[in-house]
Homo-oligomer: A and B are copies of this chain.
């Protein structure tokens, strides 16, 4: 498998799933007659990030993985989103950036050095960075976003999480 195959198509699909969870959040808020944006401030513990930041962080995990593994410049995102529509735009912009990356851009990504900003002088090889950091972080923030919605009564389920599959006839 190439690093591209393990990352870009799956990040893209899961970010699209994330937007469907927001759709369900808006539907829930409308049915219960509360402001949909109230969900954005929800968190699972007082010292955990709220939904807005979980979505931003999931987008960043995907964006920076794509950028760092290919040497491409990622789009800047100042984390100023305060509405569901702005978070949709953030998701779309992340998907659009991923869409500019080709499988060929990932040639040599396995051994590309990814420096760690929080650990000066240290880094990870691209393959280790993807498996040990980018994927776990992406799924961490994605699942926490899902859990915040679910904890607040939004009717998301496992099918909304997993999304479409590349099915074959057995």
Chain A residues engaging chain B, CB cutoff 8 angstroms: 1-3, 5-6, 9-10, 13-14, 44-45, 48, 110, 113, 115-116, 119, 121-125, 127-128, 131-133, 135-137, 139-140, 143-144, 146-147, 150-151, 153, 161-163, 165-170
Contact of A139 among B13, B122, B140, B168 (CB under 8 A): B140
Q: Are B44 and A150 in contact (CB under 8 A)?
A: yes
5 A-B pairs with the lowest CB-CB distances in the bound complex, closest first: A139-B139, A143-B143, A128-B166, A123-B170, A44-B151
Q: Are A168 and B6 in contact (CB under 8 A)?
A: no
User: A119 to B153, alpha carbons, bound, how many Å?
Assistant: 28
A55 to chain B, nearest CB (A): 15
